[in-house]
Amino acid sequence: MKMLIQKAAERGSSDYGWLKPNYYFSFGGYHNPEKVHFGLLRVLNDDFIAGGGAFPPHPHDNMEIVTIPFTGALKHKDSTGGVGTIQAGDVQIMSAGTGVQHSEANASATDPVTLFQIWIFPKEKNIKPRYDQRNFDANGRINQWQIVVSPQEADAALWINQDARFAMTKLEAGKELAYNNAFKGNGVYLVVINGSIEIDGKQFDKRDAIGISETDNFSIKATADAELLAIEVPMK
pLDDT value, residue 111: 97
Same domain, 98 and 56: yes
Examine residue 3 and state whether it is found in any structural domain, yes or no. Answer: no
- What pLDDT was estimated at residue 82? 84
Domain boundary among 135, 160, 195: 135
Residue ending a domain, among 135, 161, 180, is 135
Q: How far apart are CA 28 and CA 25, in angstroms?
A: 10
Domain that holds residue 179: 138-233
Distance in angstroms (rounded) separating the CA atoms of residues 186 and 39: 8
Are 115 and 87 in contact by the 8 Å Cβ rule? The answer is: no
pLDDT of residue 229: 99
Does residue 2 belong to any structural domain of this protein?
A: no
Average pLDDT over residues 50-69: 96
Span 126-159, pLDDT tens digits: 999 999 999 999 999 999 999 999 999 999 999 9
Whether 143 and 218 share a structural domain:
yes
Q: What is the number of structural domains in the chain?
A: 2
Q: What is the pLDDT of residues 195-216, one digit of tens each?
A: 999 999 999 999 999 999 999 9
Banded pLDDT at 230 (limits 50, 70, 90): very high
> Which runs of consecutive H residues, i.e. helices, occur in the chain?
none
Q: Work out the pLDDT band at 80, boundaries 50, 70, 90.
A: confident
Specify whether 91 is located in the same domain as 197: no
pTM score:
0.97
152-179 per-position pLDDT tens digit: 999 999 999 999 999 999 999 999 999 9
What CATH code is carried by the domain that includes residue 97? 2.60.120.10
Mean pLDDT over all residues of the chain?
97
Q: Are residues 126 and 149 in the same domain?
A: no
Query: Residue 119 is inside which H or E element, if any?
Result: strand 113-120
Task: Tell me: do 149 and 228 sit in the same domain.
Answer: yes
Q: Which of 104, 135, 166 is the last residue of a domain?
A: 135
Do residues 39 and 126 share a domain?
yes
Query: Is 166 found in the same domain as 53?
Result: no
